[in-house]
Structure formats: structure tokens, C-alpha cells
């Protein structure tokens, strides 16, 4: 049951830009912001990960700003907030190891060799660059783009780019692993 709720919340979060685009001009921004805040709090409760609480707190602040300003801009800034939080989480893990990517890698390979630790650190840096660029584009589309451009980028293109980065990293990782010498049998 919990897994079903989790995946439903993930799907709703992914579809958020499309829902905002469909609701703009039909639903007051403060109501969209209230629904977004409820979704973010629900994600934080289900995920039980500290960074989702940061997203939820930021979303509540955006909702309050939407209520005060009655501006749809506040609702459209959510992807900027998420990219900023992810940048913070990934970036902080570079200063307080293990990195986020190393933690994920250790789920599959608990005895990650030093070369794997170095590699995962580099991948974490790549994700940090991605979050800076993606968050910047999300901000530009929110501030200067039409609603359609904002929805297209944040509801489709950003996810495609994320998938491309994951696929490229997977290919690089396979290549790097093939190039590594096998572990010595005398160990």
C-alpha cells in the first residue's frame, strides 16, 4: 500500500507542470499553490527523507507568497526550488562524504573500491552542474517564457534531459568498469 501511495505521489509530482498549465487562467494561483504544498508535504511524509522536508518547507513558502501576491509565478517557481534543494543535497555530500551517488552505488556494491568512490564523486559533480543549469532554465522559463514554454520545458524537456544524463552515465560507467583491471585473486 505504502509503495502505491509513494508512486502515485511521484506521478503527481512529475505531472505537476502539465496540471499547472491546464489550470492557469482557470484556477486561482493560491489554490494551485495550496494543492502543491499539500502534495509536497505528502511526499515528505511518505519518503521520510530529510531533503523532502526542505522541499515541503520551500513549497509552503511559495504557497504563502502565492496567496499574498495572487501571482502564478510563485506556482511556476516550484521546479527552481526542487533543483536548488537537489543541488544543495548533492553539493553538501561532496563536502560531507559519502557523496549521494556513492551511497546509491553502495546499495548494489557495498565494497566499492577507491576507484569507484572517485568515479561516484565525479558523477555527483556532474549532477550538481545539471541542477544548476536545469534550475536556471526553469527560472528563465518561469520569469520570461510563456506558460506553454514553461510547461513544455518543466513537464517534458527537463525529464528527457535527466533521462539522457542517466543513460549517458550508465554507458560511461560500463565503459569505465570494462577498462578497470579485475580484482586480484590474492586479496
DSSP states of 42-85 as a string? Answer: HHHHHH--HHHHHHHHHHHHHHHHHHHH--HHHHHTHHHHHHHH
Query: Tens digits of per-residue pLDDT, 92-118?
Result: 999 999 999 999 999 999 999 999 999
Average pLDDT of every residue of the chain: 89
Classify 97 as helix, strand or coil. Answer: coil
How far is Cα 167 from Cα 125, in angstroms, rounded to an integer? 16
Cell output for 166: 542517466
- What pLDDT is attached to residue 187? 47
Choose the weakest-confidence range: 1-10, 67-76, 166-175: 1-10
Cis check: omega of the bond before 171, within 30 degrees of 0: no
Q: Which of the four pLDDT bands, split at 50, 70 and 90, describes residue 182?
A: low
How far is Cα 32 from Cα 80, in angstroms, rounded to an integer? 17
Query: Tens digits of per-residue pLDDT, 32-76?
Result: 888 889 988 998 888 878 888 988 999 899 899 988 998 999 989
How far is Cα 23 from Cα 186, in angstroms, rounded to an integer? 64
Amino acid at each position: 500500500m505504502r509503495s502505491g501511495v509513494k508512486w502515485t505521489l511521484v506521478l503527481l509530482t512529475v505531472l505537476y507542470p502539465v496540471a499547472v498549465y491546464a489550470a492557469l487562467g482557470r484556477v486561482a494561483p493560491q489554490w494551485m499553490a495550496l494543492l502543491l504544498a499539500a502534495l509536497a508535504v505528502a511526499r515528505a511524509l511518505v519518503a521520510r527523507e530529510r531533503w523532502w522536508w526542505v522541499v515541503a518547507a520551500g513549497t509552503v513558502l511559495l504557497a504563502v507568497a502565492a496567496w499574498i501576491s495572487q501571482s502564478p509565478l510563485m506556482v511556476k517557481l516550484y521546479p527552481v526550488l526542487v533543483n536548488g534543494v537537489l543541488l544543495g543535497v548533492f553539493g553538501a555530500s561532496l563536502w560531507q562524504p559519502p557523496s549521494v551517488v556513492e551511497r546509491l552505488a553502495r546499495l548494489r556494491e557495498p565494497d566499492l573500491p577507491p576507484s569507484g568512490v572517485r568515479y561516484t564523486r565525479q558523477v555527483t559533480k556532474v549532477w550538481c552542474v545539471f541542477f544548476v543549469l536545469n534550475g536556471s532554465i526553469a527560472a528563465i522559463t518561469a520569469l520570461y517564457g510563456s506558460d506553454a514554454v514553461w510547461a513544455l520545458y518543466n513537464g517534458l524537456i527537463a525529464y528527457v534531459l535527466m533521462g539522457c544524463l542517466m543513460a549517458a552515465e550508465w554507458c560511461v560507467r560500463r565503459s569505465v568498469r570494462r577498462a578497470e583491471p579485475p580484482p586480484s585473486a590474492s586479496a
